[in-house]
A and B are shown apart, each in its own frame.
Chain A
Amino acid sequence: MIAVVSAKPLIAVLVSLAVIPVLISARKPNVRETWTFAAALIKFGIIASMVPAILAGHTLEFTIAPLFAGIAFKLKVDAFGLLFALVASFLWIVTSAYSIGYMRGLDEHSQTRYFCFFAAALSATIGVAFSANLLTLYIFYEMLSLSTYPLVTHHQDREARSSGRKYLFYIMGGSIGLVLPAMIAIYLIAGNLDFAAGGILAGSIGALPAAALLLMLVFGFSKAGIMPVHAWLPAAMVAPTPVSALLHAVAVVKVGVFSVFRIITDIFGPGMLLNFGFDTLLCIIAAVTILGSSLIALSQDNLKRRLAFSTIGQLSYIILGAALLTQSGMAGGMLHIAMHAFGKITLFFCAGAIMVAAGIKNISEMKGLGLQMPVTMGAFFVGALSVIGLPPCGGFISKWYLAIGTIEAEQFLMLAVLLASSLLNAAYFLPIVYRAFFCNPDETMFEHRIKEAPGWCLAPPVATAAISVILFFYPQPFFNLSQLAVSRILGG
């Protein structure tokens, strides 16, 4: 393995920040949107261009500035980070298209601010993916928290304000109150914060302080949405749908999960966690969240809130994968980042399209909607299948590996949790589809025929749904990266 010094990761992070001045100065929406697209495409291009080097077993590194003795502000691209970055940057392209349709469709205000902070959020996301140490990750994590605050509170009304408060309370409270002290303690114990295969804490800390630090970090990275620090996510659904779609199904929440994953594998290390028996502890935390959120999701009538609770559950799948500490478990967790992203973003896009076209937010009002908006609801169905984990969708692959992982780790209870949760997933998604296609609408509902959403809103969910299916047959790009990442973690 060769560590190549390359400015590519830095450029990939900065490209969306660089476009912000252009966005601010652009007077016309067309110019603004073109530039957003250009930034998204360039960003994805740069990230994709790193794939061959990573698959060849190299890593790309770039040191920006030293911050403390032994810690630098440093970017490093490895297989896991690249996998996440690929997903996030690709979906930014799709979301940019969708944003245009959605924001214009609803004639939202302050679109310049919206696109600027969106770009900043993406920079921070890629920064997290490419962080070489915990401090760099923390810096980008905070940047993401702050750049998403204006997006969550975009409507600037009372509801947005209270959601914003909740958002800050959980996210900043976690990162300042728990992560910061834990991080400094780890630095004092280990002398550095680098992500290293096998962890940096092994052998230098007892079981009790290790447990305390682990819990502080797992709950402190509250973007991962582990119960009981999940409550910000349903609240954040007041944001415009593209924000919910990209940030609260992909970028922000996955940044949380990615951080927890990194902590488990590269700070604590599998060996140490197994020694102390913390793998079971983490599994239980994840299992509680998986089941709890699925049960809550059943009772939600607002479609976006139901999707939010579903996301909370799916995020903990990934944590569970990491906590299993086996080859297939971790690979399944990493794959799930990608698979769930494509599935869930489809669902959010559809929810937004329904809102733009029909103005409907609640599931109970969706009877017969499938006949009015067949393409949207068809894409919704595919996305739902993927999230439930049924073939022929990508979600099946990641769940399959997770299930194998539970068997490898001999955590049969977790296997049962996975299966039960899949049933619950089906129970909260399929009735929506059933209702849309097979129930007769209330008489007054569709007096005027509802048209499908405009093309900008419709094409993205169709595309992501199609990709979800393609990923079932052709998961190699992500699969290879995840295998590479896992072999590094377990080999090191």
Chain B
Amino acid sequence: MTSQIPALIIVVPLLVSLVVSLAAWIRQSLCYAAALCAMLVAWISAILVMGRVINQGVITYRMAGWAPPWGISWHIDHFNAIILILIATVALINLIATRSTAAREFEDRPGVFYALYLLFVTGLMGIVITGDIFNLYVLLEIASLSGYALLGMGSGRAAVSSLSYLFIGTIGASLYLFGAGYLYIATGSLNMADIAAILPTIEQTGVIQVSFILCLIGLFMKMAFFPLHTWLPNAYTHAPNSSASLIAPLTTKVMIYVMIRIVLFVYQPEFAFAEMDIDRVIVWLAVIAILAGSMLAWKQERLKRMLAYIIVAEVGYMVGGFWLGNTAGMTGAVLHILNDAMMTLCLFLAAGAVISRVQTDAFGALQGVFTKMPFSMIAFVAGALSIIGVPPTCGFFSKWYLISGGMEAGHYAFVAALIISSLVNVLLFFRVIEIGYFEPFDSHHHKNGQTVREAPLDMLVPLLVTAGLLIVMGFYANTLVTWIVKPAISAATMGGL
């Protein structure tokens, strides 16, 4: 029985997502309960899988018993096991936290929301767990399509923004598929481990290089790597809060995971770093992404929009850190995937809590929120400090690895970009904090004379738990690195970089 646990991670949310849409016919409140149960099962399974990976090493799960390379195999090592836990945790916390928000934003059809929610999570989990490059594409599209739908169900500009996200996302996925096709032509296989074994044995031709570049560009589009980020700010700003706080922390991070997985475990470092020789170029692009993201964030006048541009900068952190090509940089990138997801979740949930009370996230309306919503704002400050990189929040620790990676690689522009971006983040967040803390509360901004109170408990508790996790993850950063990140990276780079 225990050997089937990996299947549960995917199958349970997938099946329940179908059940949920039916349950809506019976009773609407069932939807939330069913979704919650599914997420709990997925979360517990993810943790059990992690335990097994740590104790017994890599798990290869054969879908329907077909042996690879013919059947689709799932491949779970330290790296994707921790990402699975991350996805499950974020989705679970967000599910609980946004219950009331979702009930308001999707009042007539909670079934649709929760079905898409689970489908999105299924897609992401599948992307992470699969060991097959074509299967990855399909799951990528499952996650993306449910993501477009979730983002597009907001009011106002949401549909337009989601549609332009869909265009860019589809091109990105298609380019990835195109690249995977070339890889298949060259190797005759779709199984990642199989390709990795075949690639070094065959002659290196232009085909493989083209496939590499196509995959990479496709993924860059999907992860909103500057200047391919244009879809992100609009899509996240206008989306319903309950879906934005699910999608914003996860999508870009999972795409970065895919990039790392493809580069390290399919093409492998000797090819990707030594032969392609594009690592320095990409780090420079990352420098530009970090600086541009920070600067663009500075120009925003709305909280969610500012956070969206900060994500663009953070993507630069991870891409740059990974392409530094040394252990410290990669450790930083992997650790930052985990940390950034949690801090983004924390900030988006806090923004959601504020919006649920203040009705808008324009900076001008945030006057006096510290007095009215002290606990939500404490969580917001915790998330902000983590983004800035103040110890002992987790953001500091990944930044530490990224900076030391930059120094080891002698890439001082990257180091400078990280430092500058941290300083800009101080300005960004303290601008918001100043408004909330200093300026008097202006009651004109509230419709119907509604008085602003602290967010409801079911929103506040998950938010504070997330904020607490940011500090806990900081203190356990070393444990994470020694037990999970190091084995994950060394598995791919046995020869050393």
Contacts and interface: CB of A to CB of B under 8 A. Distances in A.
Contacts of B397: 67-68
A297 B430 CA distance: 31
A164 B419 contact: no
A370 to B, nearest CB: 38
B434 A161 contact: yes
Contacts of A160: 438
A156 interface: yes
Given A142-B390, A188-B408, A180 B434 contact: no
Question: DSSP class of A's interface residues: helix, strand, loop or mixed?
Answer: helix
Given A173-B423, A176-B426, A177-B419, A65 B478 contact: yes
B437 interface: yes
B477 interface: yes
A180 B407 CA distance: 12
B404 A184 contact: yes
B130 to A, nearest CB: 33
Interface in A169-189: 172-173, 176-177, 180-181, 184-185, 187-188
A139 B437 contact: no
B388 A184 contact: no
A67 B477 contact: yes
A67 B478 contact: yes
Query: B interface, how many residues as a size bin?
Result: 20 to 34
A176 B419 contact: yes
A314 interface: no
Contacts of B403: 180-181, 184
Interface in A182-234: 184-185, 187-188
Contacts of A164: 434
B456 interface: no
Interface in A219-276: none
A66 B481 CA distance: 11
Interface string A66-97: 11110001000000000000000000000000
B226 to A, nearest CB: 22
B241 interface: no
Contact of A184 (B407, B478, B479): B407
A319 B392 CA distance: 28
A68 B400 contact: yes
A153 interface: yes
A146 interface: yes
A288 interface: no
A156 B370 CA distance: 12
A181 B422 CA distance: 12
Interface in B147-161: none
A68 B476 CA distance: 10
B389 interface: yes
A142 B391 contact: yes
A172 B478 contact: no
Contact of A185 (B391, B407, B476, B479): B407
Contacts of B404: 184, 187-188
B110 to A, nearest CB: 37
Contacts of A188: 404, 407-408
Interface in A120-175: 135, 138-139, 142, 146, 150, 153, 156-158, 160-161, 164-165, 168, 172-173
Interface residues of A, number: 31
A161 B390 CA distance: 21
A119 B415 CA distance: 35
A187 B403 CA distance: 11
Contacts of A135: 391
Contacts of A142: 390-391
Given A66-B478, A184-B404, A176 B388 contact: yes
B477 to A, nearest CB: 7
A177 B400 contact: no
Interface in B409-453: 415, 419, 422-423, 426, 430, 434, 437-438
Contacts of B415: 181
Contacts of A185: 407
B385 interface: yes
Nearest to B426: A172
Given A67-B477, A67-B478, A184-B404, A153 B392 contact: no
A187 B423 CA distance: 22
Contacts of A65: 475-476, 478
Q: Which of B385, B423, B438, B476 has the most CB of A within 10 A?
A: B438
B391 A139 contact: yes
Contacts of B385: 146
B418 to A, nearest CB: 9
Interface of B: 385, 388-392, 397, 400, 403-404, 407-408, 415, 419, 422-423, 426, 430, 434, 437-438, 475-479, 481
28 contacts: A65-B475, A65-B476, A65-B478, A66-B478, A67-B477, A67-B478, A68-B397, A68-B400, A68-B481, A73-B392, A142-B390, A142-B391, A146-B390, A156-B438, A157-B438, A158-B438, A161-B438, A165-B430, A173-B423, A173-B426, A176-B388, A176-B419, A176-B422, A176-B423, A177-B423, A184-B403, A184-B404, A188-B408
Q: A-B pairs with the 7 shortest C-beta distances?
A: A139-B391, A66-B478, A161-B438, A184-B404, A176-B422, A142-B390, A184-B403
Given A158-B438, A180-B403, 12 more contacts: A65-B478, A66-B478, A67-B477, A73-B392, A156-B438, A168-B430, A176-B389, A176-B419, A180-B422, A181-B403, A188-B404, A188-B407
